[in-house]
Amino acid sequence: MTEAIRIYSEMRNDIISCDLEPGASVSEAELCARYNASRTPVREACRRLQEEGLLQIVPFRGYTISPLTIDEYRSLNEMQLVLDPAAAAMAAERASDEQIAMIERWANYIYHAGEKKSYETFLEWNRNFHIEIAQATGNDIMVEMTVNLQTRLIRYFYLVISMASYGKDLVNEHQAMVRAIRARKPEQARDRATEHVIRTMERTSLIRIPQGGFRGDPRKDIQPARSRT
């Protein structure tokens, strides 16, 4: 692992978990000290994070951690509602048996409600599940857009870390998508993906994002999601 990749990975995790707070300004010197690194690998890591929408470069001043805003979250939801069903339909037509096996592998992790590490693991498996579907389309632009979308969405999903136990529901929805892809039924795969996105939007509607967005640590302001009755 190169120094730039190490810094990128650690900094990405800190941004997603809000240890680097949304809207916070950080200088290059502060990042070098935080990650015990020289300027060159820090700059490389920051360029990559900027490309993923997690960081904003402020000329002559340093960097700003991208804020979490209601407008961005709505835009990401709208994009996911277009992108994920299209990717699932294309994967049903194009995926190899090996790719389908990989998609299924990432579909089966059930997190335990209220357990931080378990939910964090699920978020990574969920991200990999959707990216694997995109890769199975054979469309490089689809992959690039899905990686960017999932990376930005994961910050918002992290805010519902105390959400009620939807783990089995999510796995059931993922498995329904896998079955449609394996059966080579594009329209069914599209429908299952659409249902999954809509249900995810309903589950995460419990996120309360201020109109001006989060600046500072949003974890202090998030109301725990309520269990369904």
pLDDT tens by residue, 86-99: 999 999 999 999 99
What is the distance between the alpha carbons of residues 221 and 210, in angstroms, rounded to a whole number?
A: 10
Closest to 53 in 3D by CA, of 34, 74, 35, 67: 67
The pair of three-digit structure tokens given for residue 57, joined into one six-digit string: 């470069």
Q: How confident is the model at residue 70 (pLDDT cuts 50, 70, 90)?
A: confident
Nearest to 30 by CA among 17, 42, 21, 15: 42
Are the beta carbons of 186 and 143 closer than 8 angstroms?
Answer: no
141-161, pLDDT tens digit by residue? 999 999 999 999 998 888 775
Predicted confidence (pLDDT) at residue 35 exceeds the cutoff of 70: yes
Instruction: For residues 61 and 26, give the distance between their C-alpha atoms in angstroms, rounded to a whole number.
Output: 8
pTM value?
0.83
Query: Tens of pLDDT along 110-144?
Result: 888 777 888 889 999 999 999 999 999 999 999 99
Full set of structural domains in the chain with CATH = 3-65 (1.10.10.10), 70-213 (1.20.120.530)
